[in-house]
Amino acid sequence: MKLGIRTRITLLMAALGILASGLTGYYAYRSSQSLLAEAAEREMLTSTRVLGRRLILNIREAAKEATLLAELPATQAVADLPDTSPHAIAARNNLARIFESVLAIQPEYFQIRLIRADRHGLEVVRIDRDGSDLTRVDDAALQEKGHFPYVFRTLKLKPGETYLSPIFVNQEQGAHTGHGQPTLQVARQVFASNGRLYGLVVINIDLNGLFDLLKADLPPTLKLYLTNAQGDFLIHPDPEQTFGFQRGRRILAQDVFPPVEDIVDGKADYRVIALTNPPPLRGHPTVPTTAVFLRQPLGDYVSDDPFAIVGLSMPQREITRPTHTLATATLNIVFVFSAIAFVLALWMSRALTYPLQLILQAVGRVSTGRDLGELPLDRKDELGDLARGVAHMHTQIRDQMVVLDEHRRTLDHLSRHDTLTGLPNRRMFFDVLQQAIARAEQADTQLAVMFVDLDNFKDVNDSHGHATGDRVLQVVAARLQHCVRAVDTLARLGGDEFIILIESLGSREPVTTIAHKLIAQFETPITAGAREVLLGLSIGISILPEDGSDAETLVARADEAMYAAKMAGRNGYRFYSTPPASS
């Protein structure tokens, strides 16, 4: 049975009312999620700041203790008395009792020492915490510590300065509670009464207790992170991820949470990070996560790590959990307004025939991508509002299509180019190479593939960090581009490997010329920030058709030739095959 126009208008108006109610409820629900997320981020940032301040307060207290011990009359008495003096032993015994008293009231300290400046940094008085006991190390077991940074760095301080070590896992020899534990050392110079630098007082802090204190007040849904100034994890929900730098495998926060790189580089004080697919944690499923990381200066101390990075993370489902109740209420509201819309549609259908037909026609045009045509936009009643809503919807859809098209073009570019250097990537290079092979075979000409590998680039990353390595790769790409012809193709395969396609060859001479130019370009050091880096090139060359007739073979043989050049002494080039002898 064919429905009449009135019935159709009624149904359409009801549908639009339901749609409007549904969209309103949906956007209200989404807005509440956004507000909850913002509030949770603010709370996490505040909690992170509080944790950072608590860490600083503990460090500041240890620095005060070190200053107090260094300036005690008992300490100066040890510094003033010669070792052969009959009173020297009594002075050291008195100082040892003071050290024991401090350790007794500060359970987070596991060792206090007085170390000489001379005699290779020999320990003078040393008290260790061994479980629940305090142990004074015998004179015969005292060790020379002058080769440790906390000793020679402290001895070079200006008067009044305090040394703060990086956080590390204590591997110093000696049976005490702190062995193999996360440790922070605070050191202060000791002067004799005549102003002579005698040595230093060192307090070793057991950070396990401090870390437990930091985590104690956190709800179980919040995960705590702490890194040093370079981004190495010191606290992580998975203990296997911590102190990797002391096991020969650095695990950096910026590799897991890339925006942390801005904090490490000093570009930002904090970052709020939302990850839809974070790395899995042991014993926990992978879920979308929101994290906050904060740069926390460690105070006015002399330290290789002037700041730490404190972070908290929480599953996003915990943030949005309160919205479930709101979703139920919103759904009820949508049902009520939908019913009201249906009743109003029945009442208004008689007066809406012609304007509604115009609107229906306009909606039909929207689906086909055409202009809306005539609409009763000048009406001051609901039909006018509806017409204007359709017009606005059409504008939004058109704008979104433009944005989507722009995103598609951007993604297409990114899929074929290297994001660091802007050069074509492996995928694009192989496409170009296959086309070039077809042209060369048709024109009966040669082409060359040059496989370029940087010598000693790994040392740059290890010595100066990945950020410097990235800047060096950008300079390398620019120098390589300068050496090749405009018709040649330069691409980055990945890491420190580049590849060059040279077309329209009649002989090997142009390839040899370009190889010499490439090597000569890198006789000059590369400036990356405040550093200069000297690199060499190992170049392998394959020729079509002598060394292969397809892209994969040519690239593989150029790679083999490159390794042959590297084995021959690096900073040179090698053809895969020797040229045929002249007749």
pLDDT score at 434:
95
pLDDT at residue 253 greater than cutoff 70: yes
The whole-number average pLDDT for the span 213-238 is 83
Is residue 169 predicted with pLDDT exceeding 90? no
CATH code reported for the domain at 218-319: 3.30.450.20
* pLDDT value at 429 more than 90: yes
Residue 577: what pLDDT?
87
- Residue 582 reports pLDDT greater than 60: no
pLDDT of 176 reads 62
* DSSP class per residue in 346-381: HHHGGGGHHHHHHHHHHHHHHHHT-------TT--S
Confidence at 64, pLDDT banded by 50, 70, 90: very high
Q: What backbone phi and psi angles, to 5 degrees, belong to 390? A: -65, -40
For a pLDDT cut of 90, what percent of the chain falls above it?
Answer: 40
The pLDDT-based confidence of 462 (bands split at 50, 70, 90) is: confident
Q: Is the dihedral of CA 61, 81, 176, 102 positive or negative?
A: negative
Question: Where does residue 462 fall: left (phi above 0), alpha (psi -120 to 50 degrees), or beta otherwise?
Answer: alpha
Region 456-464: mean pLDDT is 85
Give pLDDT, residue 554: 95
Place of tokens 């040649």: 488
What pLDDT, on a 0 to 100 scale, did the predictor assign at position 18? 80
**Minimum mean pLDDT among 190-199, 372-381, 487-496: which range?**
372-381
SS3 string of 246-313?
A: HCCCCCEHHHHCCCHHHHHCCCCCEEEEEECCCCCECCECCCCEEEEEEEEECCCCECCCCEEEEEEE
Structure-token pair, residue 63: 């620095």
Q: What is the pLDDT of residue 48?
A: 86
Catalytic residue among 496, 547, 550, 559, which? Answer: 496
Q: What is the pTM of this model?
A: 0.50
Q: 103: part of which helix (H) or strand (E)?
A: helix 88-105
Stretch 296-311: mean pLDDT: 87
Determine the angle formed by the axes of helices 5-71 and 73-80, rounding to 10 degrees: 50
Predicted pLDDT of residue 396 = 76
Phi/psi at 491 (5° precision): -140, 160
Residue 558: the pLDDT is 95
Residue in 134, 132, 111 with CA at minimum distance from that of residue 123: 111
Same CATH topology for 72-209 and 218-319: the answer is yes
Contact between 218 and 312 (Cβ < 8 Å): yes
The per-residue pLDDT for range 346-362, each reduced to its tens digit, is 777 666 666 766 776 67
Dihedral-angle region of residue 548 (phi above 0 means left; psi in -120 to 50 means alpha; beta otherwise):
left
Q: What is the mean pLDDT of the chain?
A: 85
Angle between helices 426-443 and 382-416 (to 10 degrees): 60
Predicted confidence (pLDDT) per residue in 518-540, tens digit: 999 998 898 877 778 888 999 99
- For the chain, what are the domain ranges? 1-34+322-405, 72-209, 218-319, 426-575
pLDDT at position 350 is 66
426-575: which CATH architecture?
2-Layer Sandwich (3.30)
Confidence of residue 14 (pLDDT cuts 50, 70, 90): confident
What's the mean pLDDT in 566-583? 77
Whole-number percent of the chain with pLDDT over 70: 91
393 compared with 477, residue with greater pLDDT:
477
Assess whether pLDDT exceeds 90 at residue 202. yes
Of 491-500, 544-553, 569-578, the poorest mean pLDDT is in 569-578
Strand order, beta sheet including 307-315: 233-235, 223-227, 307-315, 289-297, 270-275
CB 454 within 8 A of CB 496: yes
d(CA 90, CA 419): 69
Question: What CATH number does domain 72-209 carry, 3.40.50.880, 3.30.450.20, 3.40.190.10, 3.30.700.30?
Answer: 3.30.450.20
Alpha-carbon span 236 to 257, nearest angstrom = 13
pLDDT of residue 283: 55
Given a contact cutoff of 8 angstroms between Cβ atoms, the answer to whether 78 and 193 are in contact is no
Is the confidence at residue 302, as pLDDT, over 60? Answer: yes
pLDDT band at 10 (very low <50, low <70, confident <90, very high): confident
Residues 92, 76: Cα–Cα separation, whole Å: 10
Task: Describe the strand order of the beta sheet including 536-544 as a list of residue ranges.
Answer: 489-494, 497-505, 446-455, 536-544, 572-575
Active site residue 496: yes
One DSSP character per residue, 178-215 reads TTTSEEEEEEEEEE-TTS-EEEEEEEEEEHHHHHHHHH
DSSP 209-234: HHHHHHHHTS-TT-EEEEE-TT-BEE
Q: In this model, does residue 24 exceed pLDDT 50?
A: yes
501 contacts 447 by C-beta, under 8 angstroms: yes
Higher pLDDT pick, 6 / 319: 319
For 292, residues 6+ apart whose C-beta sits below 8 A from its C-beta are 41, 44, 45, 48, 270, 271, 272, 273, 311, 312, 313
The amino acid that residue 331 corresponds to is L
The pLDDT of residue 161 is: 93
Higher pLDDT among residues 211 and 40, named by residue: 40
Q: Quick one: pLDDT at residue 263?
A: 93
Is the pLDDT reported for residue 393 higher than 90?
no
Max avg pLDDT among 8-17, 324-333, 471-480: 471-480
Considering only residues 531 and 480, tell me which one the structure prediction assigns the higher pLDDT: 480
Q: Look at residue 503 in the predicted model and tell me its pLDDT.
A: 92
